Structure formats: structure tokens, C-alpha cells
């Protein structure tokens, strides 16, 4: 019985360690770019073609769905009269099928009368190669608005547009529904967008590049802070790499992507590299003009964006409006699969220069702001280059380590008590005959 229990303890410890490190991911063939890693906590949900059949989404939850060419799919929200709600959709084309300039989705939130609260498009545009792209829509509560202010049922509508020349495959969708925290003092907040902000790009970091490996999705995006970062192994044709940067209230983020030279060819490839920025709710902020490539070193930068402020939401420009809350901002970089034809399938050296400027200001929210905040743990993860996935793994290993120490202490204490009792029994009992039984079944057996 004792040996069996020890085996169970060992198996339980091994199983716990395996559970801690075996986080879900997407498999990919050796030498090929990794596919998108969906959030392992995502729930499966089917969009409905009739709004009355739509499934309800829950705040703080992540979902997986899919959409066919030309489809219009509905999902349902139950909103109160005081909370701002955001629903984002990440489009993940399956395989390497062709996409065209106008291909993409439109995400909108609508009330029960089909009045549109807001909408946003996600399009492939001139970078006509498959990659994850994102868009969001929101219902916000405002005193001077008469649309979408009532409590009740709202619809999320996702519409897909694809050209006849595009691949007819289904696209996967990763959906998120987030509620914005309540303000400390709504009456004292500005209700107009700022007109001016520092718009000159800062002096880029001059420190030597440090190595970092980008993630395959928002879920496992690699943390970055101010500095120059060199992608380990470079970026491969067809690959999308994800990074995340903590940007607090009052801070600006700047980013530049640089492709190194490749002497295999001098063939000109237009729209070879796409650089994009999304906000903490996975709403699209801005994209740089796709970078062309002809085998020489070249770079592209995001346009200067305003500091993160609550009142940015009142600006009519989407890139300004999207800088409306603090948190993790996501950078994604994709290299066109067409590059492989002239420059091979190996990775081309890639560096990212990131700079976060400005002193962090106080949050306007009351209580814990969740994803719409920057904590010291976030800054530490960015400094260490950790993704959310690695942070979870690290936390689990700490728990297992503590549990292991506790279990070990209990075993040692138990053996000590057994030894003490055995010695006392031996001292008071008559000497056992040669070959007789030992007290309590004999000494502990060897492991």
C-alpha cells in the first residue's frame, strides 16, 4: 500500500507539471511559419443568419467562430444603460488561399431597431496576402446621444466580403467581448478630443538590439518595452509575428520595423511587409503603408499617434479614437509569402524599434480596470519579454513548486514521526525473535 501511494504521489506531481507546461497551441510543420494560436479559453459559438437565433456573448469572454464568403452572422449582447461594451473580431484565413484588396469583414453593433451604434472594417487592402486582421465595434453611453443608450438586447453583426477571385475557404474568427470600467467622476471628464499633441517622432533607441521571438497571436504575443529588438531567426515569408507593449495613460507609442538585406536577389516586391497596431480591446488603431522590398535594408514606421487619453474617443479619426484606454497595445508584422519566390523560405533578419514616451498618468476608472490598465507586473513582463501564456505558465509553476515543497515537508515529517514511534515501540516491547516482524511493518522501504 505504501509503495502504491508513493507511486500515486509521483504520478500526481508529474501530471501537475505536465498540465502546467502543456498549454494549448497550434501545430505546424518543421521549417514552416507557425499558424495562429487561438486563446485556449475560447468557447465555440456559431453565428446565426437570423438575429432572433443569435447566441449571447458574455463580458470578459473569448469565443471561436467562423464565417463563409458573403455571410452575415449575428451574435447577441445584453447591455445595461450605463456600461460601455466592445466586441472585437480577429479574422484568421485558413491556409494560404488568395485574398484580394477589398476582402475583409465589417463588425457593427446594432440596437433592436437595427440602428447602428458603431462599426469598423478590417480589410487586407494593398497587402493582398492572408494574415490575421482585426476590427471592433462598441456601444458607448453618452449624455448627448439618443442612439443605443437604452438597456436591452443588442446585436453584433459580422459581414464578410470576398472577391470572386479569392479563395472560398471559411475564415476562422476569434471574438472578444469586453466591458469598460466605470469612471471615477464622469461629470468632470472632457467631452472633446484634444486638438494638439506631440507629433514628431522621437529619437529612436540607440542601444544594441536584443533578441526576442515574436508570438503567433494576440494570446502569446511577446512583451516589449522601449528599445531595439531583433527577431530570433528572422521573419519567414507568410509568417505573422505578434508583440505587445504596455502603454499607460498619457503615454505615446512609436514603432519602426526594419528588414535587413538579402543577397539572394534584387527582385522588387511591392507590399512585402505589413505593420499594424491594435489597442487593448483588439480594435484596430493604425497600419503603416506596406513596405516594398528589393533585397536591400529598408524600414517602415507607424504614423505618430496621440498620447492615451479617455477623450480621444471623441475624435472622428479612427486612429486617434482608438487610443482611448491604457493597457497592452499589440504590434503585428507579416512578411508576404511572395518573398519566398525570389529570396527563399528562410527568415529575413527583422528588427523592431519601440519607444514609449511620456509620464504615466492616473487612471480615470474606479477600482480594478483589468485589461484597460498597466500594472507593475505588466511592465516587468515587458522587460522580461514574457507573453500572457508564459506568465500563466510561470504562475502555475510557482504554485506547483510551493505544493511540491509542502508535499515534501509532509513526507519528511511523516517519516520522522514513524521513526520516533518505531523506536519507542522497540524500547518497550520484548525483543523480537530472529526473523520476526518489525514494528509497524518494518522500516521504511527504499524509494
* Per-residue model confidence as pLDDT tens for the chain (447 residues): 434 444 444 444 444 444 443 344 443 344 455 689 999 999 999 999 999 999 999 999 999 999 999 999 999 999 999 999 999 999 999 977 889 999 999 999 999 999 999 999 999 999 999 999 999 999 999 888 889 999 999 999 999 999 999 999 999 999 999 999 999 987 778 888 888 888 888 887 777 899 999 999 999 999 999 999 999 999 999 999 999 999 999 999 999 999 999 999 999 999 999 999 999 999 999 999 999 999 999 999 999 999 999 999 999 999 999 999 999 999 999 999 999 999 999 999 999 999 999 999 999 999 999 999 999 999 999 999 999 887 776 554 444 444 455 545 444 445 554 454 455 454 444 444 444 443 333 443 443
Q: How far apart are the first and last CA of the chain?
A: 13
pLDDT at 203: 81
Q: Is 197 helix (H, G, I), strand (E, B) or coil?
A: coil
Positive or negative: CA dihedral 307, 313, 319, 324: positive
pLDDT at 266: 97
pLDDT at 97: 81
> Nearest CA to 84 among 327, 400, 313, 381?
313
279 within 8 A of 256, measured Cβ to Cβ: no
In whole angstroms, give the CA distance from residue 23 to residue 370.
23
304 within 8 A of 198, measured Cβ to Cβ: yes
295 within 8 A of 261, measured Cβ to Cβ: yes
Q: Output the nine-digit C-alpha cell for 201.
A: 517622432
Determine if the pTM surpasses 0.85.
no
Tell me how many degrees the CA angle 11-13-16 measures, rounded to the nearest 5: 105
DSSP 248-311: -TT-EEEEEEEEPP-TT----EEEEEEEEEE-TTS-EEEEPPPEEESSS-EEEEPPP-PPP-GG
Q: Output the nine-digit C-alpha cell for 187.
A: 461629470
Amino acid at each position: 500500500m505504501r509503495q502504491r501511494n508513493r507511486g500515486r504521489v509521483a504520478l500526481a506531481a508529474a501530471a501537475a507539471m505536465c498540465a502546467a507546461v502543456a498549454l494549448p497551441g497550434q501545430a505546424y510543420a518543421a521549417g514552416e511559419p507557425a499558424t495562429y494560436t487561438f486563446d485556449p479559453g475560447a468557447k465555440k459559438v456559431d453565428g446565426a443568419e437570423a438575429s432572433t437565433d443569435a447566441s449571447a456573448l458574455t463580458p470578459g469572454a473569448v469565443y471561436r467562430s467562423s464565417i463563409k464568403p458573403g455571410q452575415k452572422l449575428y451574435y447577441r449582447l445584453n447591455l445595461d444603460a450605463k456600461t460601455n461594451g466592445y466586441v472585437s473580431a480577429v479574422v484568421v484565413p485558413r491556409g494560404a488561399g488568395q485574398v484580394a484588396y477589398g476582402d475583409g469583414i465589417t463588425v457593427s453593433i446594432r440596437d433592436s431597431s437595427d440602428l447602428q451604434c458603431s462599426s469598423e472594417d478590417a480589410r487586407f487592402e494593398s497587402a493582398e496576402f492572408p494574415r490575421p486582421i482585426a476590427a471592433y465595434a462598441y456601444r458607448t453611453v453618452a449624455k448627448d446621444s439618443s442612439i443605443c443608450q437604452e438597456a436591452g438586447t443588442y446585436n453584433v453583426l459580422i459581414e464578410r466580403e470576398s472577391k470572386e477571385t479569392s479563395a472560398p475557404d471559411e475564415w476562422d474568427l476569434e471574438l472578444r467581448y469586453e466591458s469598460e470600467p466605470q469612471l471615477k467622476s464622469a461629470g468632470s471628464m472632457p467631452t472633446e478630443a484634444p486638438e494638439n499633441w506631440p507629433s514628431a517622432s522621437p529619437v529612436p533607441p540607440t542601444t544594441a538590439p536584443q533578441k526576442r521571438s515574436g508570438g503567433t497571436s494576440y494570446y502569446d504575443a511577446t512583451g516589449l518595452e522601449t528599445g531595439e529588438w531583433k527577431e530570433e531567426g528572422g521573419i519567414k515569408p507568410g509568417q505573422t509575428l505578434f508583440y505587445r507593449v504596455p502603454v499607460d495613460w498619457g503615454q505615446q507609442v512609436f514603432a519602426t520595423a526594419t528588414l535587413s538585406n538579402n543577397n539572394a536577389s534584387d527582385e522588387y516586391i511591392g507590399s512585402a511587409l505589413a505593420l499594424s497596431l491594435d489597442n487593448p480591446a483588439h480594435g484596430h488603431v493604425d497600419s503603416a503603408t506596406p513596405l516594398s522590398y528589393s533585397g536591400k535594408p529598408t524600414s517602415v514606421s507607424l504614423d505618430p499617434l496621440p498620447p492615451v487619453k479617455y477623450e480621444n474617443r471623441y475624435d472622428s479619426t479612427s486612429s486617434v479614437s482608438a487610443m482611448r484606454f491604457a493597457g497592452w497595445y499589440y504590434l503585428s508584422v507579416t512578411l508576404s509569402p511572395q518573398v519566398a519566390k525570389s529570396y527563399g523560405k528562410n527568415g529575413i533578419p527583422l528588427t523592431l524599434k519601440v519607444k514609449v514616451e511620456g509620464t504615466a498618468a492616473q487612471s480615470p476608472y474606479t477600482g480594478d480596470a483589468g485589461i484597460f490598465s498597466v500594472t507593475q507586473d505588466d511592465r516587468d513582463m515587458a522587460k522580461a519579454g514574457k507573453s500572457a501564456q508564459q506568465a500563466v505558465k510561470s504562475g502555475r509553476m510557482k504554485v506547483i513548486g510551493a505544493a511540491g515543497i509542502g508535499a515534501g515537508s509532509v513526507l519528511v515529517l511523516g517519516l520522522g514521526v514513524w521513526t520516533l514511534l518505531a523506536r519507542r515501540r522497540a524500547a518497550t516491547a520484548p525483543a523480537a525473535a530472529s526473523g520476526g516482524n518489525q514494528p509497524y511493518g518494518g522500516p521504511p522501504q527504499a524509494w
